[in-house]
Amino acid sequence: MRKFLVVVALLASLSIFAILNPNYVSPVVEVVKQCAPAVVKIDVVRIESVPYFDPFADEFFKRFFGDVPWGYGKREVRGVGSGFIFDKEGYILTNEHVVKDAKQITVTMLDGTTYKAEYIGGDDELDIAVIKINPKGKNLPVLEFGDSDKVQIGEWAIAIGNPLGFQHTVTLGVVSALHRKILKPDGKGYYTDLIQTDAAINPGNSGGPLLNIHGQVIGINTAIVDPREAVNLGFAIPINTAKRFIDSLIRTGKAEKAYLGVRITDVTQDLKKALALKVDRGALVTEVVKGSPADIAGIKEGDVIVKINNQDITSAGVLVSVIHSYTPGSTVKVVVDRRGKRLELTVTLGKYEESEGGAKSFLGIKVGEITAGDRETFSIPTYIKGVIVREVEKSLFGIKVGDVILKIVINGKEYKLESIDDWNKAIGDLHKGDYVALYIYRKGAKLYVAFPYTGE
């Protein structure tokens, strides 16, 4: 009898702890089944310049003097990231920092199939890139783009990628915030209008998709907060930003970005007091280019730009990043503070022009003609003449992209620079053993950089 009662009690307890929702299947499972095959692992090999120094000494020089221009060698560096197929022809979207300067790009599918990929185009500032594989007649899986403008805080967010090389890892969270802006790790500009999520994102997730519960791409996973400082703070570029530039990346290899037509500076407390400004933050307009989109819309010198569409403008750098996230012809609402009065102006943005090549490379730097867009981006006054540094392959006494080289002095002989031809002529007169000085304009300051020329 006692055994019978024990059995009855056991059966009763099992009925109490019966499986709940036995037929329930999480919608995330279906999203992963449908979307994971279109997410790829990206392995890259790139060649980087490295100094022939003891690593401890190298860190000392970097900290106090910047990289030195001599004693450089090459080494092979491998990296891993993520991406996703968005077109059956084999086009893949990822981050520029994942594939930039890659000597070799290998794409691995969920089923283990590998392809050699071609770099099609990308943009450092936007941190988006397109690569391509040859499907060779295979019917490739693709992901559908969503509408990131309709994303709401609190909705589900699903990340698929390759964190630390662990292929096709799935993490789940929510959209934590919208319109975030963060400084880029290299300090060169800002990521703006980011989607923040608590879905776990780690190194290797970069370039992978952030999906909504319908399996649509709403963002490109791009950045995280240092895990030593915080956790579950990941950021994705809105897919609508990427969509604006895909066509130009495929067609020209470059992102065709917008141009406003102003020179700007940060609002500081000293400027606020001196000019009796009514705002604490923003981009102060110091010059409006005649005939530019800003001029046509009615923006004036002395205005403080405080908002573009739904994005707050807290500094000159943020304004530049926001403007460059739009394509030429885009119409935006610009809110300015004009002596305490808020005005909303409608601006149709122009095209950011870059000068074409033609300049000889010199110790790892490449220069170009200064365009109106450069003057806006780097706040270069119209009276400044010279050539602008476009690329820096290795650091030459701290020379940076955006510096304007006003003149070159070789053994006491001055070469004033107002064009690429002037630059090429001066560089052509250099000989090993010459003493060289570059006279540079940077953010309102002028400085000399001098060194003996040891040859390329």
Task: Compute the distance between CA of residue 414 and CA of residue 428 in angstroms, rounded to an integer.
Answer: 14
82 is catalytic: no
149 is catalytic: no
- Catalytic residue, from 82, 148, 206, 315: name it: 206
**CA distances (Å), 361 to each of 262, 431, 441, in order?**
30, 15, 19
DSSP alpha helix (H) spans, 341-449: 372-378, 420-428
Query: Mind giving me the DSSP string for 299-352?
Result: --TT-EEEEETTEE--SHHHHHHHHTTS-TT-EEEEEEEETTEEEEEEEE-EE-
- Catalytic residue, from 127, 193, 337, 422: name it: 127
Strands (E) across 86-116 are located at: 91-94, 102-108, 114-116
206 is catalytic: yes
**Can you read off the two tokens belonging to residue 61?**
């020089």
**Phi and psi at residue 375, in whole multiples of 5°?**
-65, -35
Whether the Cβ atoms of residue 271 and residue 144 lie closer than 8 Å to each other: no
- Catalytic residue, from 43, 67, 82, 97: name it: 97
Q: Which residues pair with 440 in a beta bridge?
A: 405, 447
**Can you read off the two tokens belonging to residue 86?**
């968005």
**Among all residues, which ones are annotated catalytic?**
97, 127, 206
